[in-house]
Amino acid sequence: MDTPKPDFPRRAPRQSFPLAAVVSADDLKLALCLLVIDPAIGGVLIEGPRGMAKSTLARGVAELLPGGAFVDLPLGASEERIVGTLDLDAALGEGRTRFSPGLLARADGGVLYVDEVNLLPDHLVDLLLDAAASGVNHVERDGISHRHRARFVLVGTMNPEEGELRPQLLDRFGFNLALEGQPQPAERAEIVRRRLAFDSDPVAFTQRWAAAQSALHERCRVARERLAAIELDEASLEAITRRCFEAGVDGMRADLVWLRAARAHAAWRGSFAIEAGDIDRVEPFVLRHRRHLMPPQSSARPSQGGSASSKVEQGEGQWGELPAQPQTMGARRELPRWPKKP
C-alpha cells in the first residue's frame, strides 16, 4: 500500500515590489524602462554596494515585459544549466534531438538577473552577452545542435570593490550605471517606510500602487509599439558619432547603442522623432564605461529641433508625469524588434 504524501500547504507566488514605488534611483528606473522598450540595447550593468535594491529593481522591471519572467542566475551555475543540454542517446537511437532547456530558455521574454556578474567566469559572461545580443541560444555537442529563442533583458550587478570586469566584457553591456550608496536622510527614511509597509502586507501595498504601476506598464507598452515608427535620421546619427569620437570611444558599439537608446527615449516621451534632448539624456548610460577622453568643454552641439531644456526634459523619465503616487505611511531604418511568440 502506498504511503500517502504529506499535504504541504502550497506556497503563494512571490509578490514583487512595484517598480513605480521605488524611491529615487530615477536614472536607473529610466534606463530599465528603455531596455523594456528596446531590449536590443543590450542590457545594463549596475554598479554599487550591497543593500541598494538592485534585485528589487530587476524584479520590478520584469513585470513590464510581455513575458514577465524573472530568472535569477546563481553564481555556481554550470554552462549546461545555463544553456541547456542535449540528449545524445536520443539523437543516436531515435534519430531526433531531445533538448532539456536551461536558464536562457526560461528567461525568454523576461529578465535574466545576474548578481555579482564580475565573479562569474569570463566564458560564461561571454555566453550570456552573446545570447542577449543575438536573441538566440545555440547549443552544440558532438556534431548535434539545437537553437531556440532567448530574448531577454540582461541585468547584471557588481560591487567594484570585489573585482572588475575585463574591458572587453564591460563594453558589451549596453548601459552602465552606478547607484549611490549614501542616499539623503529623507530618502533613506522613505525607503524604510515603504519596505516595512510592503513586508507587512505585500498585497495591500501593491494595491495602493496599482494605478501608478499600471500607468508605467501602459507607457512602456505604447512606447514599444511606437518604436519602429521613429526615424533614425542622419542628424542624430552624425551628432552621436561625433560625440563618440570626441569621447575617445573604441569600436562602434557605443554609436549603435546610443542611437537605439535615443530612439527608445523618444518613444518613452511619446514622440515620433529623436530630438537633441533624447541624445543628451541617455549619454551617461552609454558612455560611462566607454569614455576615454573628455570632450572639449567648448564643443558646440547642433540643435535638432529641440533642446535639453525644452519639452524633451519635461518627459524624459520624470516620474511625476505618471499618475500621482499614493501616500504610504506618512528614410526609416528599422532596428530589430522582438517577434511575438507563435
Active site residue 301: no
Collect all residues with Cβ–Cβ distance below 8 Å to 267 and sequence separation of at least 6. 37, 38, 223, 224, 226, 227, 230
Residue 248 carries which DSSP code?
T
- Asked whether the CA dihedral 246, 227, 224, 337 is positive or negative, the reply is negative
CA 37/CA 218 separation, integer angstroms:
11
Cα dihedral 84, 87, 92, 95 sign: negative
Which residues touch 266 (CB under 8 Å, ≥6 apart)?
Answer: 230, 272, 273, 274, 275, 278
Q: What share of the chain is helix, strand, coil (3-state, %, to 5)?
A: 45, 10, 40
**Which among 133, 20, 160, 140 is positioned nearest to 88, based on CA atoms?**
140
CA–CA separation, 190 vs 154, rounded Å? 29
Find where cell 535620421 sits. 233
Helix or strand run (H / E) with residue 161: none
Count the neighbouring beta carbons within 10 Å of the beta carbon of residue 268: 27
Ordered DSSP codes for 24-59: S-HHHHHHHHHHHH-GGG--EEEE--TTS-HHHHHH
What one-letter code names the amino acid at 139?
V
The residue annotated as part of the active site, out of 219, 253, 263, 269, is 253
Buried/exposed 95-108: b ≥16 CB within 10 Å, e otherwise: eeeebebbbbbbbb
Task: State how far the Cα of 115 lies from the Cα of 133, in Å rounded to an integer.
Answer: 19
> How is residue 83 written as a grid cell?
544553456
- Residues annotated as catalytic are 253
